[in-house]
Structure 1
Amino acid sequence: MAQSMSEIREKDGDFMGQIRALHLSLTPIVLPFVVKALIELGVPEILVEAGPHVELTAAEIASRIVSPTGRAADSENLDRLLAVLASHNFLRGSVDSENPDKKKYAITAEGGLQYFVKNDTKSLASLLLVHLSPDFVSPFQFLHETVLDPSTCPPIRAYGTQLWDHFEKHPELANLFNRAMAGSSALLMSTLLEMYDGFEGLGSLVDVGGGTGETLALIISKHPQLRGINFDQPHVVATGVRVPGIEHVGGNFFESCPQGDAVFMKWILHDWSDEKCLCILKNVYKALPPRGKVVNIDMLLPEVIDSSFESQTGFHTDVMMLTYVQGRERNLSRFRKIAADAGFMRVEIVAAVFGQTVMEFYKS
């Protein structure tokens, strides 16, 4: 007698464990490279242009793909890629009741694929592309060695230099990384500046590790009363944006920090060990007035592990920092401990945006 799949599964007590193990062996390689392929094909743009919840077949999407060779895109293979994203709820997939082989796909707000439009200035497309480049994947081959010896630097094991030094020899990779940081930063800051009022009332703001100043320029465009000081290594600020109200200052935040009413740091502390972060924060503390504060943006790990997307993203990012720069993400307790050791009286969470947490460290 024929049995249903549910009956068969009930007889196999370890079915869920088996399928989860198989899932784990396939998903880490298939899912990100499917997204990469769709980015390269321009599929997110096609779905965004069609509009939210507008359903398109693979053939309709394929007809809008522009091939550099002029050859028509293959809708059957495209359908196979789209089905992967639909199975993970990054797209909505539906089936024509009269023709089960004819599937349709739509972009949804909660799916997130709209944030992977390749040529958008506010996009995560370059971030995914740089993470999947051979130069960024190869250090992960040595991740296990960080457990055997915590002084292990996976990029040195992979190609003989620190990641930042590797960029100097590979400008195309460095440019892709810079686009990745700019796109993700623009997404974050555009939302943050609409909901966060912590820059109001300040006369000056120092962006510590501010790169070439794009983020500070966005802040000043919203808060023109600020005198902005963009602080980074001399060779970095030498190519900084020329915007009224911004002064570029070269230096080393392990040695000192320019003075200002407040200090802004985005994705800086997670690059460093607790000991290095303490050194940075002590220099920042000295540069602030008695009632000064730090506005710090970083991923915030949960105190208790759960299986939410937010927690998974935090733990994934933590391992990326371990792999690339021997840095780390932190939970609130760890941030408060480092801040207190540097002299700050308290740390408060003031906003959360795009998976990041805005914390203020108060001097008094």
Structure 2
Amino acid sequence: MAQSVNGVSHEDDASIGIMRAMHVCQPFSLPFVVKALIKLGVPDILVEAGLDVELTATEIASRIVTPHGKAADPGNLDRQLRLLASHNLLQASENSENHERKYALSLAGGLQYFASNSGRSLAPMLMLSTAPLTVLPYQFLHETVLDPSVEPAVHALGMKSWEHAQKHPEELGNLLNRAMTGCSALLIPMLLEKYTGFEGLGSIVDVGGGNGESLALILSKYPHLRGINFDQPHVVAKGLQVTGMEHVGGSFLESCPQGDAVFMKWILHDWNDEECVCILKNVYQALPPDGKLVNMDVVLPEVVDPSLKTQSGFKFDVMMMTHFQGKERSLSQFRKIAADAGFKRVEIVAAVADQTLLEFHKS
């Protein structure tokens, strides 16, 4: 007879352990089902129906545009939708009359953020994450333990991920840009609802700002600001044309344009500590005595827990290890590299989803 502690037997523990292990053995089903549904236009169909509006797989399948006029199969569609419902990406309810499930979007679900007809879409990010050349470097993740200088992406692709994306613009480069733009369009407005630290400033520099999407969103709320979008020359050459925004080409490893404040999104996690200190020193020099850096990144917890936010942060950290030899950081780790660059204090000022805004202050 199995021993029981607090009503849970060792056999139950073993069963849970086996199920967790089996869950790890199916890592691709969920993201590739979402990818398949994006290709079929299912998130768009559900968004058009509206939040909390229930549709059966048959009803959804009837709205899928198929080649040669062949009808989509509701049976296989239901098998894919029920997986998403089991992960709370969708709501599912059973129909007692014909046993055909009904599915609906909910605010807490998340499938609506993969709709392609919205500028605020994670669909490009999902497509990028599941691209064959993105997945391949993970085959060499074990090499980072045997030798921390190994970069799995270089091992698999022969070059760094950024270089590979530039050499394959149609396959990866454009997808990467759309992924970054989609994430910015989704997250920046949500953060601007919580963060008011751009008020009272005269100018802001977006370091590593890409085409200027994030800065454009900031300027739309604070049109009095003079904005400088700073990135590599070939990147800013294709930058957005927005009133109040100037594009400047250069390298943040060498210098940074001056401004009352500097904004960075998902920059520091691409680099190791020494490179981050170099970047932060350049930012420090570009700021006035009372200036600040507003940095958007994942902030890892100091203690491991099973929350969705923590799991997401640790997954991003492994992705950084695989593709960029970078890492996500805890608050204490951010404070260490900030202090090494001369900043006096680092404070958390806002957070949304798995993203956190940090202010780095010179005084």
> Does TM, scored on the shorter chain, surpass 0.5?
yes
1:303 maps to what in 2?
302
1:139 aligns with 2:137: yes
2:148 maps to what in 1?
150
Partner of 1:69: helix, strand, or coil? helix
1:362 maps to what in 2?
361
Question: Matches of 1:299 and 1:69 in 2, distance apart?
Answer: 45
1:193 maps to what in 2?
192
2:162 maps to what in 1?
164
2:177 maps to what in 1?
178
2:344 maps to what in 1?
345
2:268 maps to what in 1?
269
Indicate how the Cα distance of structure 1 residues 152 and 10 shifts in structure 2: closer, same or farther if over 3 A, else same: closer
1:25 aligns with 2:25: yes
The 10-residue stretch of structure 1 (121-130 or 214-223) with the greater mean CA deviation from structure 2: 214-223
1:5 maps to what in 2?
none
Q: Is the 8 A contact 2:204 2:261 kept in 1?
A: yes
Q: TM-score, normalised by structure 1?
A: 0.94
Q: What do you get for the CA RMSD once the two structures are aligned?
A: 1.4
Question: Matches of 2:264 and 2:21 in 1, distance apart?
Answer: 40
Question: Matches of 1:334 and 1:208 in 2, distance apart?
Answer: 21
1:330 aligns with 2:315: no
Question: Matches of 2:307 and 2:48 in 1, distance apart?
Answer: 30
> What CA deviation, in whole Å up to 9, does each residue of 1:112-168 have, x standing for no partner?
111010231101011001110001000111111111111111111112111111122
Indicate how the Cα distance of structure 1 residues 239 and 150 shifts in structure 2: closer, same or farther if over 3 A, else same: same
Deviation at 1:98, TM superposition (A): 2.9
Question: Matches of 1:211 and 1:267 in 2, distance apart?
Answer: 11
Q: Is the 8 A contact 2:215 2:227 kept in 1?
A: yes
1:117 maps to what in 2?
115
1:42 aligns with 2:41: yes
Q: Structure 1 regions of 5+ residues with no counterpart?
A: 1-8
Indicate how the Cα distance of structure 1 residues 330 and 13 shifts in structure 2: closer, same or farther if over 3 A, else same: closer
Identity of aligned residues (%): 66
2:283 maps to what in 1?
284
> What CA deviation, in whole Å up to 9, does each residue of 1:180-220 have, x standing for no partner?
11001110112122221111100111111111212112211
> What CA deviation, in whole Å up to 9, does each residue of 1:252-284 have, x standing for no partner?
111111111111111110110011000001111
Deviation at 1:97, TM superposition (A): 1.9
Partner of 2:101: helix, strand, or coil? strand
Question: Matches of 1:287 and 1:195 in 2, distance apart?
Answer: 26
Question: Matches of 2:287 and 2:202 in 1, distance apart?
Answer: 12
Q: TM-score, normalised by structure 2?
A: 0.95
Q: Structure 2 regions of 5+ residues with no counterpart?
A: 1-8
